[in-house]
């Protein structure tokens, strides 16, 4: 049988498939999706906490040890869009499982590393694997859940990410209290093997687009994102000249990338999707809201410890109400998003988020833990209520065959927003000293309010995207 005939047969068989996966296969599919996502998010959080310990044992300076964190984040950032495009071409299941296998191998490499160079290289490998997981995550959720339950699935996805980020420091502290730092990474190996074993039988199979992968665009994408981020970080630090050179090189790579991709039918950078009004507005809202979130996340620990005089343990506890509130609000908002429009839900959530950030900016040095905790919870409730409807709007605005590109854009928007927020807070610290956190929170509140207005403009757009053909999922018979 020729390739063309085989592909046609697969497509016809898939056309008869019910919307989403059947139970219990659906539960197994989300189990491996969430387990892999939790590991990749946790590894971004635990390394920050363990950095002083690792640097001390490897006899590395504080400046050089930062690359244990940066190598992981940069590898994810530069690969999200290329791997999402690869998923559209090869099938999401293949790219996701490959990413999971690479992440597991990278974790083993980290656990076996005995030098900063080896650990940094292993963290790059881990980041490449995490890029495969994060870029395809949303697409697999879309094919796992029926469309009428997609908001619910996205809401639970947000809960897993939020709880993983919240528990990261606690898990890292618990492991370091009982074992060496290598176990921070070694624990991923058996979990990764379990996730792969489940994924083999449970994940939905999707038919790729059978288009050639644009390697030159992928390299230009990596150069643009990588050089711009490291260049801006250099400006915030002391390497001004080097930072400007890197920014200029990154902008040049970005211009070449846009010129190459702008009119392509299915570009690696999803310009075709950004031309869809609701998708473009949702991406813009996501970038701004995550920037506001990260400005608070970076600034508040310093404020709690240096201004309010809280201990490191107390600071961790005071940061907890925010992600816990996200965990409460996100699934509720996800269910509502299956019935009501994202513009209204997202606008309401962002308005509450902006209010919470403003209230946080008014905290005085004598504030009690309760006064801080309920304000943090307001921030989390607002952000969680926005996130699920916004992500659902992005996914459903894209054609099914571009689900990978939509998911990659979603993850990229989150990382770009977080990077911009962290760098902005660093600038506030350089310019404003002890008032930096208060100014960062007030600015974040303004950004969230702006994002709320942008979200509400989506109400002027048509309420529903065009019907989507259910022609990309494997037959039920292919499941366990």
Model pLDDT for residues 112-129, shown as the tens digit of each residue: 998 989 999 999 999 999
User: DSSP assignment of 422-449, as one string?
Assistant: HHHHHHHHHHHGGGHHHHHHHHHHHHHH
pTM of the model: 0.79
Supply the pLDDT for residue 238.
57
Cα gap 389→335, rounded to integer Å: 9
Same domain, 133 and 246: no
CA angle 200, 201, 203 (to 5 degrees): 80
SS3 state of residue 214: coil
Residue at a domain's end among 192, 208, 224: 208
Same domain, 296 and 437: yes
Evaluate if residue 223 carries a pLDDT over 70.
Answer: yes
Same domain, 140 and 256: no
Same domain, 192 and 230: no
How would residue 17 be classed by pLDDT, with cut points 50, 70 and 90?
A: very low
Supply the pLDDT for residue 474.
45
Domain assignment of residue 6, yes or no: no
Supply the pLDDT for residue 111.
92
Cα gap 77→284, rounded to integer Å: 17
Range with the poorest average pLDDT among 48-57, 127-136, 215-224, 282-291: 48-57
Same domain, 352 and 299: yes
Supply the pLDDT for residue 471.
44
473: DSSP letter: B
Phi/psi of residue 136, nearest 5 degrees: -105, -10
Evaluate if residue 448 carries a pLDDT over 60.
Answer: yes
Residue at a domain's end among 208, 226, 241: 208
Considering only CA atoms, which of 75, 83, 72 is closest in space to residue 44? 72
Cα gap 250→228, rounded to integer Å: 5
Instruction: Dig out the tokens for 426 from the structure.
Output: 């660093």
CA angle 103, 155, 424 (to 5 degrees): 70
Q: In b/e form, how buried is each residue of 69-92, taking b as 16+ CB within 10 angstroms? A: bbbbbbbbbbbbbbbbbbbbbbbb
Contact yes or no for 186/107 (Cβ under 8 A)? yes
Same domain, 25 and 104: yes
Q: What is the mean pLDDT of the chain?
A: 83
Q: Domain residues for 319?
A: 266-463
Tell me, what CATH number does 123's domain have?
1.20.1250.20
Q: How many domains does the chain contain in total?
A: 3
Section 75-87 average pLDDT: 89
Same domain, 189 and 258: no
Domain assignment of residue 480, yes or no: no
Supply the pLDDT for residue 302.
79
Domain assignment of residue 478, yes or no: no
Same domain, 359 and 405: yes
How would residue 239 be classed by pLDDT, with cut points 50, 70 and 90?
A: low
Supply the pLDDT for residue 414.
85
| Count of CB atoms situated within 10 Å of the CB of 196 | 16
Considering only CA atoms, which of 158, 179, 136 is closest in space to residue 408? 136
Instruction: Dig out the tokens for 12 from the structure.
Output: 């016809």
Model pLDDT for residues 395-444, shown as the tens digit of each residue: 888 888 888 888 888 888 888 888 888 788 878 887 777 788 888 899 99
Section 308-329 average pLDDT: 83
Domain assignment of residue 415, yes or no: yes
Same domain, 51 and 89: yes
How would residue 462 be classed by pLDDT, with cut points 50, 70 and 90?
A: low
Same domain, 246 and 116: no
Cα gap 371→392, rounded to integer Å: 33
Same domain, 39 and 100: yes
Cα gap 171→454, rounded to integer Å: 37
Supply the pLDDT for residue 268.
83
Model pLDDT for residues 192-207, shown as the tens digit of each residue: 999 999 999 899 987 7
Same domain, 144 and 176: yes
């Amino acid at each position: 049988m020729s390739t063309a005939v085989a592909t046609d047969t697969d497509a016809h068989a898939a056309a008869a498939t019910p919307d989403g996966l059947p139970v219990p296969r659906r539960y197994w599919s989300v189990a491996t999706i969430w387990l892999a996502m939790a590991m990749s998010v946790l590894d971004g959080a635990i390394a920050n906490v363990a950095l002083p310990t690792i640097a001390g044992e490897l006899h590395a300076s504080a400046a050089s040890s930062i690359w244990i964190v940066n190598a992981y984040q940069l590898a994810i950032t530069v690969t999200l869009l290329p791997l999402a495009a690869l998923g559209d071409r090869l099938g999401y299941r293949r790219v996701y499982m490959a990413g999971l296998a690479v992440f597991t191998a990278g974790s083993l490499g980290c656990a076996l590393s005995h030098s900063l160079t080896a650990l940094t290289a292993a963290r790059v490998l881990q980041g490449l694997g995490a890029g495969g997981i994060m870029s395809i995550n949303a697409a697999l959720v879309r094919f796992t859940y029926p469309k009428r339950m997609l908001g619910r699935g996205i809401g639970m996805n947000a809960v897993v990410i939020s709880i993983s980020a919240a528990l990261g420091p606690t898990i890292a502290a618990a492991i370091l209290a009982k074992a060496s730092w290598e176990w921070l990474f070694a624990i991923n190996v058996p979990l990764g093997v379990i996730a792969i074993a489940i994924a083999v039988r449970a994940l939905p199979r999707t038919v790729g687009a059978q288009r050639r992968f644009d390697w030159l665009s992928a390299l230009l994408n990596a150069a643009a994102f990588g050089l711009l981020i490291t260049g801006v970080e250099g400006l915030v630090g002391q390497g001004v000249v080097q930072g400007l050179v890197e920014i200029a090189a990154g902008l040049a790579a970005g211009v070449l990338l846009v010129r190459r991709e702008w009119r392509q039918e299915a570009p690696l950078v999803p310009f075709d999707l950004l031309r869809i009004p609701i998708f473009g507005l949702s991406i813009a809202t996501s970038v701004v809201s995550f920037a506001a979130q990260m400005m608070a996340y970076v600034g508040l620990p310093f404020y709690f410890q240096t201004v309010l005089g809280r201990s490191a343990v107390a600071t961790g506890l005071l940061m907890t109400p925010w992600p816990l509130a996200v965990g409460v609000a996100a699934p509720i908002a996800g269910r509502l998003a299956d019935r009501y429009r994202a513009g209204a839900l997202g606008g309401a959530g962002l308005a509450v988020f902006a209010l919470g950030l403003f209230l946080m900016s008014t905290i005085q040095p004598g504030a009690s833990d309760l006064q801080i905790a309920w304000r943090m919870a307001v921030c989390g409730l607002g952000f969680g209520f926005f996130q699920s409807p916004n992500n659902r709007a992005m996914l459903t605005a894209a054609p099914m065959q571009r689900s990978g590109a939509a998911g990659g854009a979603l993850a990229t928007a989150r990382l770009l927003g977080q990077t911009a927020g962290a760098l902005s807070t660093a600038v506030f610290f350089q310019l404003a000293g002890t008032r930096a956190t208060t100014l960062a929170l007030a600015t974040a509140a303004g950004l969230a309010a702006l994002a709320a207005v942008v979200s509400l403009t989506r109400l002027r757009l048509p309420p529903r995207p065009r019907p989507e053909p259910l022609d990309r999922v494997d037959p039920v018979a292919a499941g366990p």
